A and B are shown apart, each in its own frame.
Chain A
Amino acid sequence: MLSKNEILETVNMVRQEHFDVRTITMGISLLDCIRGDAESTAQAAYEKICRRAEKLVSVGEELSAEYGVPIVNKRISITPASLITSGFRGKEPEFARWLDRAAKETGVDFLGGYSALVHKGMTPSEENFLRSIPQVLAETEKICSSVNIGSTRAGINMDAVRMVGELIMETAALTADRSAFGCAKFVAFCNAVEDNPFMAGAFHGVGEGDCVIHVGVSGPGVVHHAIRQIPDADLMTVAETVKKTAFKITRVGQLIATEAARRLGAEQGIVDLSLAPTPVMGDSVGHILEEMGIETVGGHGTTAALALLNDAVKKGGTMASSRVGGLSGAFIPVSEDIGMIQAAGKGVLTLSKLEAMTAVCSVGIDMVAIPGDCTAATVSAIIADEAAIGMVNNKTTAVRVIPVPGKKVGDFVEFGGLLGSAPIIAVKPSSAERFIARGGTIPAPIHGNKN
Protein backbone atom coordinates (compact mmCIF):
# COMPACT_ATOMS: atom_id res chain seq x y z
CA MET A 1 0.00 0.00 0.00
CA LEU A 2 1.16 3.49 -0.79
CA SER A 3 1.88 5.71 2.19
CA LYS A 4 -0.20 8.76 2.98
CA ASN A 5 2.78 11.03 2.32
CA GLU A 6 3.43 9.51 -1.09
CA ILE A 7 -0.16 10.03 -2.13
CA LEU A 8 -0.29 13.62 -0.89
CA GLU A 9 3.06 14.41 -2.49
CA THR A 10 1.66 13.30 -5.85
CA VAL A 11 -1.62 15.13 -5.41
CA ASN A 12 0.23 18.32 -4.45
CA MET A 13 2.51 18.13 -7.49
CA VAL A 14 -0.53 19.04 -9.57
CA ARG A 15 -2.46 21.01 -6.92
CA GLN A 16 0.27 23.38 -5.81
CA GLU A 17 3.34 22.91 -8.01
CA HIS A 18 1.86 23.24 -11.53
CA PHE A 19 2.94 19.78 -12.59
CA ASP A 20 1.72 18.85 -16.03
CA VAL A 21 2.54 16.75 -19.03
CA ARG A 22 3.37 19.49 -21.50
CA THR A 23 2.58 17.62 -24.67
CA ILE A 24 1.55 14.42 -26.34
CA THR A 25 2.90 14.69 -29.85
CA MET A 26 1.94 12.26 -32.58
CA GLY A 27 4.62 11.90 -35.23
CA ILE A 28 3.15 10.92 -38.59
CA SER A 29 5.14 9.90 -41.63
CA LEU A 30 3.88 11.47 -44.84
CA LEU A 31 6.33 9.67 -47.11
CA ASP A 32 3.57 7.36 -48.34
CA CYS A 33 1.40 10.36 -49.31
CA ILE A 34 3.50 11.50 -52.27
CA ARG A 35 1.44 11.30 -55.47
CA GLY A 36 1.92 12.43 -59.05
CA ASP A 37 0.63 15.95 -58.51
CA ALA A 38 0.59 18.53 -55.74
CA GLU A 39 -3.16 18.51 -55.16
CA SER A 40 -3.45 14.73 -54.69
CA THR A 41 -0.37 14.71 -52.46
CA ALA A 42 -1.81 17.42 -50.22
CA GLN A 43 -5.15 15.61 -50.02
CA ALA A 44 -3.44 12.31 -49.16
CA ALA A 45 -1.46 14.05 -46.42
CA TYR A 46 -4.61 15.72 -45.09
CA GLU A 47 -6.49 12.44 -45.01
CA LYS A 48 -3.69 10.52 -43.33
CA ILE A 49 -3.22 13.16 -40.64
CA CYS A 50 -6.96 13.34 -39.94
CA ARG A 51 -7.22 9.55 -39.80
CA ARG A 52 -4.23 8.88 -37.57
CA ALA A 53 -4.82 11.82 -35.22
CA GLU A 54 -8.60 11.59 -35.12
CA LYS A 55 -8.66 10.59 -31.45
CA LEU A 56 -5.45 12.29 -30.32
CA VAL A 57 -7.19 15.16 -28.53
CA SER A 58 -9.95 13.03 -26.97
CA VAL A 59 -7.49 10.40 -25.74
CA GLY A 60 -5.32 13.18 -24.28
CA GLU A 61 -8.31 14.58 -22.42
CA GLU A 62 -9.35 11.11 -21.26
CA LEU A 63 -5.88 10.37 -19.85
CA SER A 64 -5.74 13.76 -18.21
CA ALA A 65 -9.04 13.14 -16.39
CA GLU A 66 -8.15 9.57 -15.46
CA TYR A 67 -4.73 10.24 -14.01
CA GLY A 68 -5.49 13.70 -12.67
CA VAL A 69 -2.57 15.30 -14.49
CA PRO A 70 -3.16 18.14 -16.95
CA ILE A 71 -1.96 17.35 -20.47
CA VAL A 72 -1.55 20.84 -21.80
CA ASN A 73 -0.94 20.34 -25.51
CA LYS A 74 -1.79 17.75 -28.12
CA ARG A 75 0.33 18.17 -31.20
CA ILE A 76 1.25 16.58 -34.49
CA SER A 77 4.65 16.42 -36.13
CA ILE A 78 5.12 15.36 -39.73
CA THR A 79 7.89 14.30 -42.08
CA PRO A 80 9.84 17.44 -43.07
CA ALA A 81 7.46 18.97 -45.61
CA SER A 82 10.29 19.92 -47.97
CA LEU A 83 10.72 16.21 -48.72
CA ILE A 84 7.06 15.82 -49.61
CA THR A 85 6.75 18.96 -51.75
CA SER A 86 10.09 18.64 -53.56
CA GLY A 87 8.49 17.71 -56.87
CA PHE A 88 5.90 20.48 -56.76
CA ARG A 89 7.75 23.77 -56.79
CA GLY A 90 5.56 26.79 -56.15
CA LYS A 91 2.82 24.71 -54.56
CA GLU A 92 4.32 24.75 -51.03
CA PRO A 93 1.91 27.34 -49.54
CA GLU A 94 -1.07 25.36 -50.81
CA PHE A 95 0.34 22.22 -49.15
CA ALA A 96 0.72 24.19 -45.90
CA ARG A 97 -2.91 25.31 -46.07
CA TRP A 98 -3.99 21.65 -46.28
CA LEU A 99 -1.82 20.89 -43.24
CA ASP A 100 -3.38 23.80 -41.37
CA ARG A 101 -6.84 22.45 -42.20
CA ALA A 102 -5.83 19.01 -40.91
CA ALA A 103 -4.56 20.56 -37.67
CA LYS A 104 -7.84 22.40 -37.19
CA GLU A 105 -9.90 19.32 -38.10
CA THR A 106 -8.12 17.19 -35.48
CA GLY A 107 -8.27 19.99 -32.88
CA VAL A 108 -4.56 19.90 -32.05
CA ASP A 109 -2.72 22.94 -30.72
CA PHE A 110 0.06 22.94 -33.31
CA LEU A 111 1.35 20.95 -36.25
CA GLY A 112 5.13 20.98 -36.68
CA GLY A 113 7.26 19.87 -39.56
CA TYR A 114 7.01 22.56 -42.19
CA SER A 115 10.71 21.94 -42.15
CA ALA A 116 13.83 21.42 -44.20
CA LEU A 117 17.17 19.84 -43.38
CA VAL A 118 19.84 21.80 -45.21
CA HIS A 119 22.83 21.45 -42.88
CA LYS A 120 25.15 20.24 -45.61
CA GLY A 121 23.61 21.61 -48.74
CA MET A 122 20.42 22.83 -50.32
CA THR A 123 18.59 21.50 -53.39
CA PRO A 124 16.81 24.00 -55.66
CA SER A 125 13.47 22.73 -54.36
CA GLU A 126 14.62 23.19 -50.76
CA GLU A 127 15.66 26.74 -51.55
CA ASN A 128 12.22 27.33 -52.96
CA PHE A 129 10.68 25.72 -49.91
CA LEU A 130 12.62 27.97 -47.55
CA ARG A 131 11.43 31.03 -49.45
CA SER A 132 7.81 29.97 -48.82
CA ILE A 133 8.23 29.91 -45.01
CA PRO A 134 7.42 33.58 -44.20
CA GLN A 135 4.20 33.48 -46.24
CA VAL A 136 3.17 30.17 -44.66
CA LEU A 137 3.83 31.40 -41.12
CA ALA A 138 1.82 34.54 -41.83
CA GLU A 139 -1.12 32.81 -43.51
CA THR A 140 -1.58 29.70 -41.38
CA GLU A 141 -2.51 29.45 -37.72
CA LYS A 142 -1.26 26.11 -36.47
CA ILE A 143 1.77 25.39 -38.61
CA CYS A 144 5.24 25.49 -37.09
CA SER A 145 8.38 25.54 -39.15
CA SER A 146 12.03 24.72 -38.60
CA VAL A 147 15.23 24.56 -40.60
CA ASN A 148 18.34 22.60 -39.65
CA ILE A 149 21.33 24.63 -40.77
CA GLY A 150 24.21 22.78 -39.15
CA SER A 151 25.43 19.61 -37.50
CA THR A 152 28.52 18.26 -35.78
CA ARG A 153 29.08 15.89 -38.71
CA ALA A 154 28.43 18.34 -41.53
CA GLY A 155 29.48 21.74 -40.23
CA ILE A 156 27.38 24.89 -40.66
CA ASN A 157 25.77 25.78 -43.96
CA MET A 158 26.35 29.53 -43.84
CA ASP A 159 24.42 30.14 -47.07
CA ALA A 160 21.39 28.70 -45.30
CA VAL A 161 22.18 30.74 -42.18
CA ARG A 162 22.23 33.93 -44.27
CA MET A 163 18.95 33.01 -45.89
CA VAL A 164 17.24 32.09 -42.62
CA GLY A 165 18.15 35.48 -41.13
CA GLU A 166 16.42 37.12 -44.08
CA LEU A 167 13.40 34.82 -43.73
CA ILE A 168 13.01 35.72 -40.06
CA MET A 169 13.04 39.46 -40.89
CA GLU A 170 10.51 38.86 -43.67
CA THR A 171 8.27 36.85 -41.33
CA ALA A 172 8.46 39.66 -38.76
CA ALA A 173 7.40 42.19 -41.39
CA LEU A 174 4.52 40.01 -42.66
CA THR A 175 3.19 39.52 -39.12
CA ALA A 176 4.03 43.02 -37.82
CA ASP A 177 0.39 43.59 -36.86
CA ARG A 178 0.65 40.61 -34.46
CA SER A 179 3.95 41.62 -32.77
CA ALA A 180 5.85 39.51 -35.32
CA PHE A 181 4.09 36.44 -33.97
CA GLY A 182 5.04 34.42 -37.05
CA CYS A 183 8.62 34.31 -35.77
CA ALA A 184 7.44 32.51 -32.61
CA LYS A 185 6.47 29.57 -34.84
CA PHE A 186 9.90 29.21 -36.41
CA VAL A 187 13.16 27.68 -35.17
CA ALA A 188 16.61 27.44 -36.75
CA PHE A 189 18.48 24.36 -35.48
CA CYS A 190 21.94 22.92 -35.33
CA ASN A 191 21.88 19.15 -34.68
CA ALA A 192 18.07 18.99 -34.87
CA VAL A 193 16.61 15.81 -33.36
CA GLU A 194 14.12 13.64 -35.23
CA ASP A 195 11.82 12.88 -32.29
CA ASN A 196 11.34 16.26 -30.63
CA PRO A 197 7.78 16.61 -29.27
CA PHE A 198 8.13 20.33 -28.50
CA MET A 199 7.19 23.25 -30.73
CA ALA A 200 8.10 25.11 -32.74
CA GLY A 201 10.83 22.64 -33.69
CA ALA A 202 9.01 19.31 -33.85
CA PHE A 203 9.23 17.26 -37.02
CA HIS A 204 8.94 13.53 -37.69
CA GLY A 205 12.33 12.30 -38.85
CA VAL A 206 12.71 9.95 -41.78
CA GLY A 207 14.26 7.35 -39.47
CA GLU A 208 11.03 7.15 -37.47
CA GLY A 209 8.14 4.71 -37.84
CA ASP A 210 4.78 5.40 -39.46
CA CYS A 211 2.92 6.80 -36.47
CA VAL A 212 4.65 7.37 -33.15
CA ILE A 213 3.64 8.89 -29.82
CA HIS A 214 6.18 11.07 -28.04
CA VAL A 215 5.58 12.74 -24.71
CA GLY A 216 7.20 15.86 -23.32
CA VAL A 217 7.04 16.25 -19.55
CA SER A 218 7.38 19.47 -17.64
CA GLY A 219 7.58 20.33 -13.97
CA PRO A 220 9.78 23.33 -13.08
CA GLY A 221 7.38 24.03 -10.20
CA VAL A 222 7.91 20.58 -8.72
CA VAL A 223 11.71 20.92 -8.88
CA HIS A 224 11.52 24.43 -7.43
CA HIS A 225 9.40 23.17 -4.53
CA ALA A 226 11.85 20.33 -3.83
CA ILE A 227 14.85 22.69 -3.74
CA ARG A 228 12.97 25.15 -1.52
CA GLN A 229 12.81 22.41 1.13
CA ILE A 230 16.65 22.29 1.36
CA PRO A 231 17.76 25.95 1.59
CA ASP A 232 21.13 25.19 3.23
CA ALA A 233 22.07 21.94 1.50
CA ASP A 234 25.31 21.66 -0.47
CA LEU A 235 25.18 21.38 -4.26
CA MET A 236 25.65 17.61 -4.38
CA THR A 237 22.50 17.31 -2.26
CA VAL A 238 20.74 19.77 -4.56
CA ALA A 239 21.72 17.66 -7.58
CA GLU A 240 20.50 14.46 -5.90
CA THR A 241 17.20 16.15 -5.02
CA VAL A 242 16.69 17.29 -8.63
CA LYS A 243 17.49 13.76 -9.86
CA LYS A 244 14.90 12.18 -7.60
CA THR A 245 12.29 14.76 -8.57
CA ALA A 246 13.04 14.37 -12.29
CA PHE A 247 12.67 10.61 -11.87
CA LYS A 248 9.16 11.02 -10.47
CA ILE A 249 8.11 13.52 -13.12
CA THR A 250 9.40 11.31 -15.90
CA ARG A 251 7.66 8.20 -14.58
CA VAL A 252 4.38 10.02 -15.15
CA GLY A 253 5.48 10.89 -18.69
CA GLN A 254 6.38 7.27 -19.32
CA LEU A 255 3.01 6.07 -18.05
CA ILE A 256 1.12 8.57 -20.19
CA ALA A 257 3.25 7.70 -23.25
CA THR A 258 2.55 3.98 -22.86
CA GLU A 259 -1.17 4.46 -22.36
CA ALA A 260 -1.55 7.05 -25.12
CA ALA A 261 0.28 4.87 -27.63
CA ARG A 262 -1.83 1.84 -26.69
CA ARG A 263 -5.14 3.69 -26.92
CA LEU A 264 -4.23 5.38 -30.20
CA GLY A 265 -2.84 2.24 -31.82
CA ALA A 266 0.49 3.96 -32.41
CA GLU A 267 4.07 3.02 -31.71
CA GLN A 268 5.43 4.31 -28.41
CA GLY A 269 8.22 6.78 -29.01
CA ILE A 270 10.31 8.73 -26.57
CA VAL A 271 9.83 10.70 -23.40
CA ASP A 272 11.44 14.13 -23.59
CA LEU A 273 12.77 14.92 -20.12
CA SER A 274 12.35 18.62 -20.30
CA LEU A 275 11.75 21.25 -17.69
CA ALA A 276 9.46 23.43 -19.74
CA PRO A 277 8.35 26.59 -17.96
CA THR A 278 5.15 28.59 -18.39
CA PRO A 279 4.64 32.30 -17.66
CA VAL A 280 2.69 31.37 -14.50
CA MET A 281 4.28 32.18 -11.13
CA GLY A 282 5.70 28.98 -9.61
CA ASP A 283 6.46 27.31 -12.94
CA SER A 284 9.76 28.98 -13.80
CA VAL A 285 13.20 27.54 -14.58
CA GLY A 286 14.66 30.99 -13.79
CA HIS A 287 13.24 30.79 -10.27
CA ILE A 288 14.79 27.32 -9.75
CA LEU A 289 18.21 28.85 -10.44
CA GLU A 290 17.40 31.71 -8.08
CA GLU A 291 16.29 29.22 -5.42
CA MET A 292 19.70 27.58 -5.80
CA GLY A 293 21.23 30.89 -4.72
CA ILE A 294 21.61 33.13 -7.76
CA GLU A 295 20.04 36.47 -6.81
CA THR A 296 18.74 37.16 -10.32
CA VAL A 297 18.90 34.66 -13.15
CA GLY A 298 21.47 35.89 -15.65
CA GLY A 299 23.86 36.97 -12.91
CA HIS A 300 27.27 35.36 -12.40
CA GLY A 301 26.86 31.72 -11.38
CA THR A 302 23.82 31.18 -13.60
CA THR A 303 25.64 29.00 -16.13
CA ALA A 304 27.05 26.76 -13.40
CA ALA A 305 23.67 26.42 -11.68
CA LEU A 306 21.99 25.61 -14.99
CA ALA A 307 24.64 23.01 -15.83
CA LEU A 308 23.92 21.24 -12.55
CA LEU A 309 20.17 21.42 -13.10
CA ASN A 310 20.28 20.20 -16.69
CA ASP A 311 22.52 17.24 -15.90
CA ALA A 312 20.51 16.18 -12.86
CA VAL A 313 17.27 16.29 -14.85
CA LYS A 314 18.79 14.00 -17.48
CA LYS A 315 20.22 11.55 -14.95
CA GLY A 316 17.01 11.27 -12.94
CA GLY A 317 14.80 11.11 -16.02
CA THR A 318 16.87 8.55 -17.88
CA MET A 319 16.31 5.99 -15.13
CA ALA A 320 12.56 6.53 -15.31
CA SER A 321 11.95 5.96 -18.98
CA SER A 322 12.65 3.09 -21.33
CA ARG A 323 13.35 5.45 -24.19
CA VAL A 324 14.55 8.98 -23.73
CA GLY A 325 14.87 11.43 -26.58
CA GLY A 326 13.90 14.79 -27.97
CA LEU A 327 15.69 17.75 -26.45
CA SER A 328 15.67 16.52 -22.84
CA GLY A 329 16.91 19.13 -20.39
CA ALA A 330 16.01 22.53 -19.01
CA PHE A 331 14.39 24.99 -21.40
CA ILE A 332 15.10 28.71 -21.18
CA PRO A 333 12.46 30.40 -23.35
CA VAL A 334 12.57 33.96 -22.08
CA SER A 335 8.99 35.08 -22.78
CA GLU A 336 7.55 31.84 -21.38
CA ASP A 337 9.26 32.00 -18.00
CA ILE A 338 8.26 34.58 -15.40
CA GLY A 339 11.69 34.47 -13.73
CA MET A 340 13.43 35.11 -17.04
CA ILE A 341 10.98 37.87 -17.98
CA GLN A 342 11.70 39.64 -14.69
CA ALA A 343 15.47 39.20 -15.02
CA ALA A 344 15.49 40.44 -18.62
CA GLY A 345 13.38 43.43 -17.52
CA LYS A 346 16.03 44.28 -14.91
CA GLY A 347 18.75 44.04 -17.55
CA VAL A 348 20.54 41.20 -15.72
CA LEU A 349 19.61 38.52 -18.24
CA THR A 350 21.23 39.56 -21.51
CA LEU A 351 21.62 37.92 -24.89
CA SER A 352 25.29 37.18 -24.15
CA LYS A 353 24.43 35.41 -20.91
CA LEU A 354 21.65 33.46 -22.60
CA GLU A 355 24.16 32.33 -25.21
CA ALA A 356 26.49 31.06 -22.49
CA MET A 357 23.58 29.25 -20.83
CA THR A 358 22.74 27.43 -24.05
CA ALA A 359 26.15 25.76 -23.95
CA VAL A 360 25.04 23.76 -20.91
CA CYS A 361 21.31 23.24 -21.36
CA SER A 362 19.11 21.57 -23.88
CA VAL A 363 18.02 24.26 -26.30
CA GLY A 364 19.17 27.68 -27.40
CA ILE A 365 18.21 31.32 -27.70
CA ASP A 366 14.49 30.76 -27.32
CA MET A 367 11.59 33.20 -27.46
CA VAL A 368 13.80 36.23 -27.24
CA ALA A 369 12.31 39.48 -28.51
CA ILE A 370 14.87 41.80 -30.11
CA PRO A 371 14.56 45.29 -31.63
CA GLY A 372 12.72 45.37 -34.96
CA ASP A 373 15.37 47.55 -36.55
CA CYS A 374 18.17 44.98 -36.25
CA THR A 375 19.48 43.67 -39.55
CA ALA A 376 19.03 40.26 -41.16
CA ALA A 377 22.80 39.82 -40.89
CA THR A 378 22.60 40.30 -37.12
CA VAL A 379 19.90 37.61 -36.86
CA SER A 380 22.02 35.33 -39.05
CA ALA A 381 25.04 36.00 -36.86
CA ILE A 382 23.06 35.11 -33.70
CA ILE A 383 22.07 31.85 -35.42
CA ALA A 384 25.67 31.19 -36.47
CA ASP A 385 26.95 31.72 -32.92
CA GLU A 386 24.39 29.33 -31.52
CA ALA A 387 25.02 26.77 -34.25
CA ALA A 388 28.74 26.92 -33.47
CA ILE A 389 28.05 26.12 -29.81
CA GLY A 390 25.88 23.16 -30.86
CA MET A 391 28.27 21.94 -33.53
CA VAL A 392 31.37 22.00 -31.34
CA ASN A 393 29.65 20.59 -28.26
CA ASN A 394 27.75 17.75 -29.98
CA LYS A 395 24.42 19.10 -28.84
CA THR A 396 21.25 20.58 -30.22
CA THR A 397 21.06 24.33 -30.25
CA ALA A 398 18.26 26.42 -31.63
CA VAL A 399 17.36 30.03 -32.26
CA ARG A 400 13.85 31.41 -31.99
CA VAL A 401 14.22 35.18 -31.97
CA ILE A 402 11.49 37.67 -32.66
CA PRO A 403 12.56 41.00 -34.16
CA VAL A 404 9.47 43.05 -33.32
CA PRO A 405 8.87 45.87 -35.81
CA GLY A 406 8.64 49.30 -34.18
CA LYS A 407 9.86 48.08 -30.78
CA LYS A 408 13.05 49.20 -29.06
CA VAL A 409 15.10 47.96 -26.11
CA GLY A 410 13.07 48.36 -22.92
CA ASP A 411 9.69 48.06 -24.69
CA PHE A 412 7.49 45.14 -23.82
CA VAL A 413 5.73 42.77 -26.16
CA GLU A 414 2.77 40.41 -25.46
CA PHE A 415 2.38 37.13 -27.31
CA GLY A 416 -0.37 35.70 -25.14
CA GLY A 417 -1.06 32.26 -23.69
CA LEU A 418 1.86 29.88 -23.14
CA LEU A 419 4.09 32.08 -25.30
CA GLY A 420 3.90 34.81 -22.67
CA SER A 421 5.38 38.28 -22.91
CA ALA A 422 8.88 39.65 -23.10
CA PRO A 423 10.94 42.79 -22.81
CA ILE A 424 12.94 43.64 -25.93
CA ILE A 425 16.54 42.58 -25.32
CA ALA A 426 19.46 44.48 -26.82
CA VAL A 427 21.56 43.05 -29.63
CA LYS A 428 25.13 44.26 -30.08
CA PRO A 429 25.52 47.29 -32.35
CA SER A 430 28.56 45.78 -34.09
CA SER A 431 27.87 44.61 -37.66
CA ALA A 432 28.39 41.06 -38.93
CA GLU A 433 27.43 41.97 -42.52
CA ARG A 434 30.78 41.07 -44.07
CA PHE A 435 31.08 37.77 -42.20
CA ILE A 436 27.56 36.66 -43.15
CA ALA A 437 27.92 37.85 -46.76
CA ARG A 438 30.88 35.48 -47.25
CA GLY A 439 28.56 32.47 -47.27
CA GLY A 440 29.97 28.99 -47.78
CA THR A 441 30.45 26.41 -45.05
CA ILE A 442 32.01 26.43 -41.61
CA PRO A 443 33.69 23.02 -41.64
CA ALA A 444 32.76 20.36 -39.12
CA PRO A 445 35.04 20.14 -36.09
CA ILE A 446 37.66 17.40 -36.07
CA HIS A 447 35.78 15.48 -33.36
CA GLY A 448 32.76 15.36 -35.67
CA ASN A 449 34.66 12.78 -37.69
CA LYS A 450 34.10 9.90 -35.29
CA ASN A 451 34.29 6.88 -37.59
Chain B
Amino acid sequence: MKAIVTVIGKDKPGIIAAVSGMLAGHNINIEDISQTVLQGNFTMIMLVSMDRSRLSITELSEATSALSHEVGVEIHVQNEEIFNAIHKI
Protein backbone atom coordinates (compact mmCIF):
# COMPACT_ATOMS: atom_id res chain seq x y z
CA MET B 1 0.00 0.00 0.00
CA LYS B 2 1.17 3.50 -0.75
CA ALA B 3 0.60 6.50 1.46
CA ILE B 4 1.16 10.22 1.17
CA VAL B 5 2.95 11.84 4.08
CA THR B 6 2.57 15.60 4.31
CA VAL B 7 4.66 17.66 6.70
CA ILE B 8 3.72 21.31 7.31
CA GLY B 9 5.25 23.69 9.84
CA LYS B 10 7.79 26.35 10.69
CA ASP B 11 11.08 25.68 8.91
CA LYS B 12 14.04 24.60 11.04
CA PRO B 13 17.00 22.23 10.70
CA GLY B 14 16.38 18.51 11.04
CA ILE B 15 12.76 18.10 9.94
CA ILE B 16 13.55 15.89 6.93
CA ALA B 17 16.06 13.90 8.97
CA ALA B 18 13.56 13.27 11.77
CA VAL B 19 10.74 12.19 9.46
CA SER B 20 12.80 10.11 7.05
CA GLY B 21 14.70 8.52 9.96
CA MET B 22 11.44 7.44 11.56
CA LEU B 23 10.16 6.02 8.25
CA ALA B 24 13.41 4.12 7.66
CA GLY B 25 13.20 2.70 11.18
CA HIS B 26 9.87 1.13 10.24
CA ASN B 27 11.13 -0.16 6.89
CA ILE B 28 8.98 2.30 4.96
CA ASN B 29 10.45 3.25 1.59
CA ILE B 30 10.28 6.81 0.29
CA GLU B 31 9.47 6.66 -3.44
CA ASP B 32 9.10 10.34 -4.14
CA ILE B 33 9.77 13.46 -2.16
CA SER B 34 9.33 17.17 -2.71
CA GLN B 35 9.95 20.02 -0.34
CA THR B 36 9.33 23.72 -0.53
CA VAL B 37 8.52 26.77 1.58
CA LEU B 38 4.93 27.88 0.90
CA GLN B 39 3.60 31.08 2.47
CA GLY B 40 6.39 30.94 5.05
CA ASN B 41 5.61 27.33 5.93
CA PHE B 42 7.93 24.43 5.40
CA THR B 43 5.95 21.97 3.28
CA MET B 44 7.14 18.48 2.43
CA ILE B 45 5.23 15.82 0.53
CA MET B 46 6.39 12.23 0.37
CA LEU B 47 4.98 9.23 -1.46
CA VAL B 48 5.92 6.19 0.60
CA SER B 49 5.50 2.47 0.11
CA MET B 50 4.44 0.46 3.15
CA ASP B 51 4.68 -2.94 1.48
CA ARG B 52 7.71 -4.04 3.42
CA SER B 53 6.76 -2.46 6.71
CA ARG B 54 5.09 -4.26 9.58
CA LEU B 55 3.16 -1.14 10.51
CA SER B 56 -0.39 -0.63 9.37
CA ILE B 57 -1.22 2.82 8.10
CA THR B 58 -3.16 3.48 11.30
CA GLU B 59 -0.10 2.60 13.39
CA LEU B 60 2.04 4.83 11.19
CA SER B 61 -0.41 7.67 11.86
CA GLU B 62 0.01 7.14 15.58
CA ALA B 63 3.80 7.06 15.27
CA THR B 64 3.85 10.28 13.23
CA SER B 65 1.52 11.97 15.66
CA ALA B 66 4.08 11.40 18.46
CA LEU B 67 6.87 12.64 16.20
CA SER B 68 4.87 15.69 15.19
CA HIS B 69 4.73 16.84 18.83
CA GLU B 70 8.44 16.25 19.25
CA VAL B 71 9.51 18.17 16.11
CA GLY B 72 6.78 20.81 16.30
CA VAL B 73 5.33 20.32 12.81
CA GLU B 74 2.06 18.88 11.51
CA ILE B 75 2.42 15.46 9.92
CA HIS B 76 -0.45 13.88 8.01
CA VAL B 77 -0.44 10.30 6.76
CA GLN B 78 -3.15 9.32 4.30
CA ASN B 79 -3.77 6.34 2.07
CA GLU B 80 -2.87 7.43 -1.48
CA GLU B 81 -6.31 6.23 -2.64
CA ILE B 82 -8.07 9.29 -1.26
CA PHE B 83 -5.99 11.62 -3.45
CA ASN B 84 -6.62 9.44 -6.51
CA ALA B 85 -10.34 9.39 -5.73
CA ILE B 86 -10.51 13.17 -5.58
CA HIS B 87 -8.15 14.16 -8.38
CA LYS B 88 -8.23 11.35 -10.93
CA ILE B 89 -11.29 10.30 -12.91
Asked if A pairs with B, the answer is: yes
Q: How far is the CB of A448 from chain B (nearest CB, A)?
A: 38
Q: Is the CB of A66 closer than 8 A to any CB of chain B?
A: yes
CA distance A248 to B57 in the complex (A): 23
Residue-wise, chain B 1-39 has the 8 Å CB interface mask toward A (1 for contact) of: 000101010000000000000000000000010101010
Interface residues of A in 313-346 (CB under 8 A from B): none
Contacts of B51 in A (CB 8 A): none
Are A10 and B58 touching (Cβ within 8 A)? no
Q: Answer whether residue B53 sits at the interface, using C-beta atoms and an 8 A cutoff.
A: no
- For window 65-89 of B, CB contacts with A under 8 Å fall at 74, 76-88
Q: Is the CB of A252 within 8 A of B82?
A: yes
> Is there contact, CB below 8 Å, between A6 and B83?
yes
- Contact status B85-A4, CB under 8 Å: no
B side interface size, CB within 8 A: 27
The answer to whether A2 touches B83 (Cβ under 8 A) is: yes
Cβ contact of B6, chosen from A8, A67, A69, cutoff 8 A: A8
Task: Write out the residue numbers on chain B whose beta carbons fall within 8 Å of the beta carbon of A4.
Answer: 34, 36, 45
B61 contacts the other chain (Cβ, under 8 Å)?
yes
- Give the CA-CA distance A254 to B32 in the complex, in Å: 27
Within 8 A of B (CB), among A246-282: 248, 251-252, 254-255
- A66-B85 Cα distance, complex, nearest whole Å: 14
Knowing A66-B58, A67-B81, the reply to whether A11 touches B76 (Cβ < 8 A) is yes
Q: Known contacts being A4-B34, A8-B43, is A67 close to B86, with CB within 8 Å?
A: no
Tell me if A252 and B85 are in contact (CB < 8 A): yes
A1-31 CB mask vs B (1 if < 8 Å, else 0) is 1101011101100110000000000000000
**B48 CB-CB contact with A under 8 Å:** no
Other-chain residue from A7, A62, A69, A255 in contact with B4 (beta carbon distance below 8 A): A7
Tally of A interface residues using CB under 8 Å? 21
- A407 and B32 CA atoms in complex are apart in Å by 60
Q: Which of B38, B57, B80, B82 has the most CB of A within 10 A?
A: B82
Q: Taking the complex as formed, is A235 at the interface, i.e. its CB lies under 8 A from any CB of chain B?
A: no
Query: B64 CB to closest chain A CB, in angstroms?
Result: 11
B86's contact among A1, A8, A248, by CB below 8 Å, is which? Answer: A248
Q: How far is B38's CA from A66's CA once the two chains are assembled, in angstroms?
A: 26
Asked if B87 and A2 sit within 8 Å, CB to CB, the answer is: yes
Given contacts A1-B47, A4-B36, A69 and B85 within 8 Å (CB-CB)? no
* Besides the known contacts A2-B84, A10-B78, 7 further A-B residue pairs in the complex with CB atoms under 8 A apart: A2-B4, A6-B87, A10-B82, A11-B8, A67-B78, A67-B79, A69-B78
- Give 26 CB contacts A-B under 8 Å: A1-B32, A1-B47, A2-B88, A4-B45, A6-B83, A7-B4, A10-B86, A10-B87, A11-B76, A14-B76, A62-B58, A65-B57, A65-B61, A66-B57, A66-B58, A66-B61, A66-B78, A66-B79, A67-B81, A68-B76, A68-B77, A68-B78, A248-B86, A252-B82, A252-B85, A255-B82
Closest 5 CB pairs of A and B: A68-B78, A65-B58, A255-B85, A251-B85, A6-B87
Which residues of A are interface residues toward B (Cβ below 8 A)?
1-2, 4, 6-8, 10-11, 14-15, 62, 65-69, 248, 251-252, 254-255
